[in-house]
Amino acid sequence: MKIAKSALIDPERNEAYGIAAIALSFFVFAYSAKFGQISILGYYGVWFLLVLADYRRVLGNYIKYLWIFSFALFCFVSAFWSPAFGTSLRTAIQYMTHIVCALVAMRTISLQTLTRGAIVGVAVVLAYSLLFGNYLYDVIDGSYSFVGAFSSKNQLGFYASLGIFFSYATVMIFGARRLWFAAAGIISLISAYSLLASQSATSVITTVAVVALCIGLQGFMFLAPKNRRFFFAAAVVLAIVAGVAGLQLGAADAVLGVFGKDSTLTGRTYLWQQGIAAAGQNPFLGIGYQGYWVPGFADAERLWDEFFITGRSGFHFHNTYIETMVETGLVGTLLIVTILLTILGSYLKRLLTMGRTPEALLCFGIGTLLLVRSFVEIDIMNPYHVGSFLFYFTAGKLTLPRTAPARAYFDQYLPNPTTMQAS
Protein backbone atom coordinates (compact mmCIF):
# COMPACT_ATOMS: atom_id res chain seq x y z
CA MET A 1 0.00 0.00 0.00
CA LYS A 2 1.38 3.38 -1.02
CA ILE A 3 1.14 6.19 1.54
CA ALA A 4 0.92 9.76 0.28
CA LYS A 5 3.74 12.04 1.45
CA SER A 6 1.18 14.56 2.65
CA ALA A 7 -0.09 12.02 5.21
CA LEU A 8 3.39 12.14 6.76
CA ILE A 9 4.76 15.64 6.33
CA ASP A 10 1.86 18.03 5.66
CA PRO A 11 0.78 19.64 8.99
CA GLU A 12 -2.74 20.04 7.61
CA ARG A 13 -3.13 16.37 6.69
CA ASN A 14 -0.87 14.29 8.93
CA GLU A 15 -2.76 14.54 12.21
CA ALA A 16 -2.98 10.76 12.67
CA TYR A 17 0.74 10.21 12.13
CA GLY A 18 1.64 13.31 14.13
CA ILE A 19 -0.40 12.29 17.17
CA ALA A 20 1.15 8.81 17.13
CA ALA A 21 4.68 10.20 16.73
CA ILE A 22 4.29 12.71 19.55
CA ALA A 23 2.71 10.10 21.85
CA LEU A 24 5.52 7.62 21.15
CA SER A 25 8.13 10.33 21.76
CA PHE A 26 6.60 11.20 25.13
CA PHE A 27 6.62 7.53 26.17
CA VAL A 28 10.26 7.15 25.12
CA PHE A 29 11.25 10.31 27.00
CA ALA A 30 9.58 8.93 30.11
CA TYR A 31 10.85 5.36 30.06
CA SER A 32 13.89 5.04 27.79
CA ALA A 33 15.91 4.13 30.88
CA LYS A 34 13.67 1.07 31.29
CA PHE A 35 13.28 0.00 27.67
CA GLY A 36 16.81 0.84 26.53
CA GLN A 37 18.21 1.56 23.10
CA ILE A 38 15.35 0.02 21.16
CA SER A 39 13.02 2.75 22.42
CA ILE A 40 15.50 5.47 21.42
CA LEU A 41 15.73 3.95 17.94
CA GLY A 42 11.94 4.06 17.72
CA TYR A 43 12.03 7.76 18.61
CA TYR A 44 14.62 8.52 15.94
CA GLY A 45 12.73 6.36 13.47
CA VAL A 46 9.41 8.21 13.58
CA TRP A 47 11.10 11.58 12.89
CA PHE A 48 13.91 10.61 10.51
CA LEU A 49 11.38 8.69 8.43
CA LEU A 50 9.96 12.09 7.50
CA VAL A 51 13.40 13.22 6.32
CA LEU A 52 13.47 10.28 3.91
CA ALA A 53 10.02 11.23 2.62
CA ASP A 54 11.07 14.76 1.60
CA TYR A 55 14.32 16.00 3.10
CA ARG A 56 14.18 19.48 1.57
CA ARG A 57 10.78 20.30 3.01
CA VAL A 58 11.33 18.54 6.32
CA LEU A 59 14.78 19.89 7.16
CA GLY A 60 14.52 23.40 5.74
CA ASN A 61 17.36 25.90 5.90
CA TYR A 62 19.52 25.15 8.93
CA ILE A 63 21.32 28.49 8.68
CA LYS A 64 18.19 29.96 10.30
CA TYR A 65 18.58 27.55 13.20
CA LEU A 66 22.12 28.44 14.26
CA TRP A 67 20.87 30.38 17.29
CA ILE A 68 18.80 27.35 18.29
CA PHE A 69 21.84 25.06 18.10
CA SER A 70 24.17 27.53 19.84
CA PHE A 71 24.05 25.90 23.28
CA ALA A 72 24.27 22.36 21.89
CA LEU A 73 27.27 23.28 19.73
CA PHE A 74 29.04 24.72 22.76
CA CYS A 75 28.26 21.52 24.69
CA PHE A 76 29.93 19.59 21.88
CA VAL A 77 33.02 21.80 21.98
CA SER A 78 33.19 21.60 25.78
CA ALA A 79 33.69 17.84 25.56
CA PHE A 80 37.30 18.49 24.53
CA TRP A 81 38.21 19.87 27.97
CA SER A 82 35.88 17.61 29.94
CA PRO A 83 37.49 15.12 32.36
CA ALA A 84 35.04 12.55 30.93
CA PHE A 85 35.65 13.12 27.22
CA GLY A 86 33.79 10.04 25.98
CA THR A 87 30.69 10.65 28.08
CA SER A 88 30.57 14.35 27.23
CA LEU A 89 31.07 13.84 23.50
CA ARG A 90 28.50 11.04 23.24
CA THR A 91 25.86 12.96 25.20
CA ALA A 92 26.50 16.17 23.24
CA ILE A 93 25.93 14.31 19.96
CA GLN A 94 22.75 12.79 21.39
CA TYR A 95 21.60 16.25 22.45
CA MET A 96 22.17 17.71 18.97
CA THR A 97 20.36 14.87 17.20
CA HIS A 98 17.55 15.23 19.73
CA ILE A 99 17.25 18.88 18.70
CA VAL A 100 17.15 17.83 15.03
CA CYS A 101 14.17 15.58 15.84
CA ALA A 102 12.42 18.45 17.61
CA LEU A 103 12.97 20.70 14.59
CA VAL A 104 11.70 18.02 12.20
CA ALA A 105 8.59 17.76 14.37
CA MET A 106 8.28 21.55 14.40
CA ARG A 107 8.25 21.73 10.59
CA THR A 108 5.83 18.85 10.06
CA ILE A 109 3.48 18.95 13.06
CA SER A 110 0.91 21.67 13.77
CA LEU A 111 0.51 22.97 17.30
CA GLN A 112 -2.97 21.52 17.52
CA THR A 113 -1.59 18.10 16.58
CA LEU A 114 1.19 18.56 19.15
CA THR A 115 -1.42 19.29 21.80
CA ARG A 116 -3.50 16.23 20.96
CA GLY A 117 -0.46 14.00 20.68
CA ALA A 118 0.74 15.30 24.04
CA ILE A 119 -2.44 14.37 25.90
CA VAL A 120 -2.39 10.90 24.31
CA GLY A 121 1.27 10.49 25.22
CA VAL A 122 0.73 11.70 28.79
CA ALA A 123 -2.24 9.34 29.13
CA VAL A 124 -0.09 6.36 28.16
CA VAL A 125 2.80 7.47 30.38
CA LEU A 126 0.60 8.00 33.45
CA ALA A 127 -1.40 4.82 32.85
CA TYR A 128 1.84 2.82 32.78
CA SER A 129 3.02 4.51 35.98
CA LEU A 130 -0.26 3.93 37.79
CA LEU A 131 -0.27 0.26 36.77
CA PHE A 132 3.38 -0.55 37.43
CA GLY A 133 4.51 2.26 39.73
CA ASN A 134 5.83 2.15 43.27
CA TYR A 135 6.85 4.28 46.22
CA LEU A 136 10.42 5.38 46.86
CA TYR A 137 12.20 7.19 49.64
CA ASP A 138 13.00 10.78 48.63
CA VAL A 139 16.39 11.69 50.09
CA ILE A 140 15.76 15.40 49.59
CA ASP A 141 12.28 15.49 51.14
CA GLY A 142 12.95 12.76 53.68
CA SER A 143 9.66 11.01 52.94
CA TYR A 144 8.19 8.18 50.90
CA SER A 145 6.44 9.34 47.73
CA PHE A 146 4.67 7.72 44.82
CA VAL A 147 7.03 7.97 41.84
CA GLY A 148 5.15 5.80 39.37
CA ALA A 149 7.50 4.01 36.99
CA PHE A 150 10.05 6.83 37.34
CA SER A 151 12.93 7.20 39.74
CA SER A 152 11.76 10.62 40.92
CA LYS A 153 8.38 12.01 41.96
CA ASN A 154 9.24 15.27 40.20
CA GLN A 155 9.28 13.53 36.82
CA LEU A 156 5.89 11.96 37.49
CA GLY A 157 4.67 15.38 38.58
CA PHE A 158 6.04 16.98 35.42
CA TYR A 159 4.11 14.63 33.15
CA ALA A 160 0.99 15.19 35.24
CA SER A 161 1.53 18.95 34.82
CA LEU A 162 1.82 18.52 31.08
CA GLY A 163 -1.37 16.47 31.05
CA ILE A 164 -3.31 19.25 32.77
CA PHE A 165 -1.75 22.01 30.67
CA PHE A 166 -2.31 20.32 27.31
CA SER A 167 -5.84 19.26 28.29
CA TYR A 168 -6.58 22.90 29.06
CA ALA A 169 -5.02 23.93 25.75
CA THR A 170 -7.01 21.34 23.79
CA VAL A 171 -10.32 22.65 25.09
CA MET A 172 -9.78 26.32 25.90
CA ILE A 173 -7.22 27.35 23.29
CA PHE A 174 -8.12 25.14 20.33
CA GLY A 175 -11.80 24.62 21.13
CA ALA A 176 -11.99 20.82 21.01
CA ARG A 177 -15.44 19.23 20.90
CA ARG A 178 -16.92 15.76 21.30
CA LEU A 179 -14.17 13.10 21.32
CA TRP A 180 -11.23 15.35 22.12
CA PHE A 181 -13.26 17.32 24.67
CA ALA A 182 -14.08 14.08 26.49
CA ALA A 183 -10.50 12.82 26.16
CA ALA A 184 -9.11 16.06 27.60
CA GLY A 185 -11.51 15.83 30.54
CA ILE A 186 -10.55 12.26 31.37
CA ILE A 187 -6.83 12.87 30.98
CA SER A 188 -6.96 16.01 33.11
CA LEU A 189 -8.57 13.97 35.92
CA ILE A 190 -5.91 11.25 35.64
CA SER A 191 -3.22 13.94 35.60
CA ALA A 192 -4.68 15.70 38.64
CA TYR A 193 -4.75 12.41 40.57
CA SER A 194 -1.15 11.65 39.56
CA LEU A 195 -0.10 15.17 40.52
CA LEU A 196 -1.57 14.79 44.00
CA ALA A 197 -0.16 11.28 44.39
CA SER A 198 3.35 12.47 43.50
CA GLN A 199 3.23 15.19 46.18
CA SER A 200 5.56 17.26 44.00
CA ALA A 201 5.33 20.85 45.19
CA THR A 202 7.26 22.03 42.13
CA SER A 203 4.76 20.50 39.73
CA VAL A 204 1.65 21.63 41.61
CA ILE A 205 2.78 25.23 41.94
CA THR A 206 3.99 25.56 38.34
CA THR A 207 0.83 23.96 36.94
CA VAL A 208 -1.49 26.30 38.83
CA ALA A 209 0.63 29.34 38.01
CA VAL A 210 0.98 28.66 34.27
CA VAL A 211 -2.66 27.72 33.67
CA ALA A 212 -3.77 30.82 35.62
CA LEU A 213 -1.41 32.99 33.56
CA CYS A 214 -2.75 31.60 30.27
CA ILE A 215 -6.35 32.16 31.38
CA GLY A 216 -5.43 35.74 32.28
CA LEU A 217 -3.82 36.29 28.88
CA GLN A 218 -6.91 34.91 27.20
CA GLY A 219 -8.84 37.58 29.06
CA PHE A 220 -6.69 40.16 27.27
CA MET A 221 -8.22 38.96 24.01
CA PHE A 222 -11.23 41.10 24.90
CA LEU A 223 -8.99 44.12 24.38
CA ALA A 224 -7.67 45.76 21.25
CA PRO A 225 -3.95 45.01 20.75
CA LYS A 226 -2.92 48.60 21.55
CA ASN A 227 -4.51 48.34 25.02
CA ARG A 228 -3.07 44.96 25.96
CA ARG A 229 0.44 46.23 26.68
CA PHE A 230 -0.80 48.77 29.23
CA PHE A 231 -2.94 46.28 31.12
CA PHE A 232 -0.21 43.63 30.96
CA ALA A 233 2.34 46.05 32.42
CA ALA A 234 -0.12 46.98 35.16
CA ALA A 235 -0.73 43.31 35.93
CA VAL A 236 3.04 42.65 36.16
CA VAL A 237 3.53 45.56 38.58
CA LEU A 238 0.59 44.38 40.68
CA ALA A 239 1.99 40.81 40.74
CA ILE A 240 5.42 42.07 41.86
CA VAL A 241 3.90 44.18 44.65
CA ALA A 242 1.74 41.29 45.79
CA GLY A 243 4.72 38.94 45.68
CA VAL A 244 6.91 41.22 47.77
CA ALA A 245 4.10 41.73 50.28
CA GLY A 246 3.52 37.98 50.43
CA LEU A 247 7.19 37.32 51.16
CA GLN A 248 7.16 39.91 53.94
CA LEU A 249 4.10 38.28 55.49
CA GLY A 250 5.56 34.79 55.29
CA ALA A 251 3.37 33.52 52.45
CA ALA A 252 6.24 31.54 50.94
CA ASP A 253 6.80 29.54 54.14
CA ALA A 254 3.06 28.95 54.42
CA VAL A 255 2.85 27.58 50.88
CA LEU A 256 5.92 25.40 51.36
CA GLY A 257 4.50 24.16 54.64
CA VAL A 258 1.46 22.80 52.85
CA PHE A 259 3.80 20.47 50.95
CA GLY A 260 5.88 19.58 53.99
CA LYS A 261 8.85 21.72 52.99
CA ASP A 262 10.75 24.46 54.79
CA SER A 263 12.59 27.58 53.63
CA THR A 264 15.65 25.51 52.75
CA LEU A 265 13.51 23.51 50.27
CA THR A 266 14.47 20.39 52.24
CA GLY A 267 18.10 20.27 51.24
CA ARG A 268 18.04 21.97 47.86
CA THR A 269 19.65 25.19 49.09
CA TYR A 270 22.64 23.19 50.36
CA LEU A 271 22.88 21.49 46.97
CA TRP A 272 22.75 24.88 45.26
CA GLN A 273 25.57 26.15 47.47
CA GLN A 274 27.69 23.18 46.46
CA GLY A 275 26.90 23.82 42.79
CA ILE A 276 27.81 27.50 43.02
CA ALA A 277 31.11 26.57 44.65
CA ALA A 278 31.81 24.04 41.88
CA ALA A 279 30.94 26.59 39.20
CA GLY A 280 33.46 29.00 40.71
CA GLN A 281 36.29 26.61 39.86
CA ASN A 282 35.69 27.00 36.08
CA PRO A 283 33.52 30.11 35.83
CA PHE A 284 33.78 30.92 32.11
CA LEU A 285 33.85 27.61 30.25
CA GLY A 286 32.78 25.10 32.89
CA ILE A 287 34.09 21.62 33.56
CA GLY A 288 32.55 20.26 30.34
CA TYR A 289 29.07 19.14 29.35
CA GLN A 290 28.03 16.12 31.46
CA GLY A 291 31.50 16.17 32.97
CA TYR A 292 30.62 16.64 36.64
CA TRP A 293 28.36 13.75 37.66
CA VAL A 294 30.86 11.07 36.70
CA PRO A 295 31.73 8.01 38.83
CA GLY A 296 35.15 8.49 40.36
CA PHE A 297 34.96 12.30 40.38
CA ALA A 298 35.63 13.27 44.01
CA ASP A 299 33.02 16.01 44.48
CA ALA A 300 30.31 14.04 42.72
CA GLU A 301 31.04 10.97 44.83
CA ARG A 302 30.86 13.08 48.00
CA LEU A 303 27.45 14.51 47.09
CA TRP A 304 26.13 11.09 46.07
CA ASP A 305 27.18 9.78 49.47
CA GLU A 306 25.66 12.72 51.35
CA PHE A 307 22.31 12.27 49.56
CA PHE A 308 22.41 8.45 49.64
CA ILE A 309 22.41 8.09 45.83
CA THR A 310 23.68 4.52 45.65
CA GLY A 311 23.12 4.20 41.90
CA ARG A 312 25.66 6.95 41.14
CA SER A 313 23.41 8.42 38.42
CA GLY A 314 20.27 10.48 37.84
CA PHE A 315 21.29 13.28 40.22
CA HIS A 316 21.82 16.97 39.56
CA PHE A 317 21.85 20.39 41.24
CA HIS A 318 18.08 20.91 40.85
CA ASN A 319 18.62 24.23 39.12
CA THR A 320 19.17 24.72 35.39
CA TYR A 321 21.39 27.77 35.74
CA ILE A 322 23.65 26.29 38.39
CA GLU A 323 23.93 23.04 36.42
CA THR A 324 24.83 24.87 33.20
CA MET A 325 27.33 27.07 35.04
CA VAL A 326 29.07 24.01 36.45
CA GLU A 327 29.16 22.13 33.13
CA THR A 328 29.42 24.90 30.51
CA GLY A 329 30.32 28.00 32.49
CA LEU A 330 29.10 31.52 31.91
CA VAL A 331 29.24 31.11 28.13
CA GLY A 332 26.91 28.12 28.03
CA THR A 333 24.56 29.66 30.58
CA LEU A 334 24.21 32.84 28.53
CA LEU A 335 23.51 30.81 25.38
CA ILE A 336 20.71 28.74 26.88
CA VAL A 337 19.21 31.74 28.69
CA THR A 338 19.22 33.68 25.41
CA ILE A 339 17.21 30.94 23.71
CA LEU A 340 14.72 30.82 26.59
CA LEU A 341 14.27 34.61 26.70
CA THR A 342 13.89 34.73 22.91
CA ILE A 343 11.05 32.21 23.14
CA LEU A 344 9.27 34.09 25.91
CA GLY A 345 9.84 37.58 24.51
CA SER A 346 8.85 36.74 20.94
CA TYR A 347 5.61 34.96 21.81
CA LEU A 348 4.66 37.57 24.41
CA LYS A 349 5.14 40.29 21.79
CA ARG A 350 2.80 38.43 19.44
CA LEU A 351 0.20 38.09 22.18
CA LEU A 352 0.29 41.77 23.03
CA THR A 353 0.51 43.28 19.55
CA MET A 354 -1.29 40.93 17.15
CA GLY A 355 -4.86 39.68 16.81
CA ARG A 356 -5.95 36.47 18.47
CA THR A 357 -3.01 34.06 18.32
CA PRO A 358 -3.81 30.74 20.00
CA GLU A 359 -0.52 29.29 18.76
CA ALA A 360 1.44 32.07 20.46
CA LEU A 361 -0.52 31.53 23.69
CA LEU A 362 0.28 27.81 23.67
CA CYS A 363 3.99 28.35 23.01
CA PHE A 364 4.22 31.12 25.59
CA GLY A 365 2.57 28.81 28.12
CA ILE A 366 5.09 26.05 27.36
CA GLY A 367 7.98 28.51 27.66
CA THR A 368 6.67 29.86 30.96
CA LEU A 369 6.24 26.35 32.36
CA LEU A 370 9.86 25.54 31.49
CA LEU A 371 11.04 28.88 32.88
CA VAL A 372 9.38 28.37 36.26
CA ARG A 373 10.65 24.79 36.52
CA SER A 374 14.16 25.85 35.49
CA PHE A 375 14.81 27.21 38.99
CA VAL A 376 14.35 23.77 40.57
CA GLU A 377 14.87 21.26 37.71
CA ILE A 378 17.06 20.79 34.58
CA ASP A 379 14.37 19.92 32.02
CA ILE A 380 15.89 21.64 28.99
CA MET A 381 19.54 20.64 28.96
CA ASN A 382 19.49 16.86 28.48
CA PRO A 383 18.73 14.66 25.45
CA TYR A 384 15.63 12.45 25.30
CA HIS A 385 13.72 14.63 27.73
CA VAL A 386 10.23 15.97 27.12
CA GLY A 387 11.26 19.40 28.42
CA SER A 388 14.10 19.88 25.94
CA PHE A 389 11.93 18.54 23.09
CA LEU A 390 9.21 21.12 23.79
CA PHE A 391 11.85 23.81 24.36
CA TYR A 392 13.39 23.44 20.91
CA PHE A 393 10.03 22.75 19.24
CA THR A 394 8.68 26.13 20.40
CA ALA A 395 11.96 27.87 19.53
CA GLY A 396 11.85 26.41 16.02
CA LYS A 397 8.29 27.62 15.43
CA LEU A 398 9.63 31.17 15.62
CA THR A 399 11.57 30.57 12.39
CA LEU A 400 8.47 29.69 10.34
CA PRO A 401 6.48 32.29 8.39
CA ARG A 402 3.45 33.49 10.30
CA THR A 403 0.18 32.08 9.03
CA ALA A 404 -3.43 32.82 9.78
CA PRO A 405 -4.13 31.54 13.32
CA ALA A 406 -6.34 28.54 13.86
CA ARG A 407 -9.83 29.26 15.15
CA ALA A 408 -9.64 29.22 18.92
CA TYR A 409 -12.34 28.57 21.48
CA PHE A 410 -12.61 32.21 22.53
CA ASP A 411 -12.91 33.34 18.89
CA GLN A 412 -16.39 31.82 18.84
CA TYR A 413 -17.66 34.10 21.56
CA LEU A 414 -15.59 37.27 21.64
CA PRO A 415 -16.04 40.19 19.24
CA ASN A 416 -13.04 40.95 17.09
CA PRO A 417 -11.13 43.82 18.77
CA THR A 418 -9.85 45.07 15.41
CA THR A 419 -13.39 45.30 14.08
CA MET A 420 -14.56 47.04 17.24
CA GLN A 421 -11.76 49.57 16.90
CA ALA A 422 -12.63 50.27 13.26
CA SER A 423 -16.32 50.77 14.02
- Give the residue, 119 or 267, on which the prediction is more confident: 119
Range 86-109 average pLDDT: 97
Q: Give the model's pLDDT for residue 250.
A: 62
Q: Give the model's pLDDT for residue 68.
A: 97
Q: Give the model's pLDDT for residue 401.
A: 82
How does pLDDT run across 333-342, given as a tens digit for each residue? 999 999 999 9
Render the burial of 159-194: b for 16+ CB within 10 Å, e for the rest: bbbbbbbbbbbbbbbbbbeeebeebbeebbebbbeb
Q: Contact at 8 Å (CB) between 398 and 342? A: yes
Range 102-121 average pLDDT: 97
pTM of the model: 0.92
| Confidence tier at 420 by pLDDT (50, 70, 90) | very low
Query: 402: which DSSP letter?
Result: P
What average pLDDT does the chain have? 88
* SS3 assignment, position 146: strand
* Cα atoms in the Cβ-side hemisphere of radius 13 Å centred on 292: 28
How does pLDDT run across 166-193, given as a tens digit for each residue? 999 999 999 989 999 999 999 999 999 9
| Closest residue by Cα to residue 362 from 84, 117, 179, 170 | 170
How does pLDDT run across 295-328, given as a tens digit for each residue? 888 899 999 888 888 777 778 899 999 999 999 9
- Give the residue, 275 or 252, on which the prediction is more confident: 275
Q: Give the model's pLDDT for residue 188.
A: 96
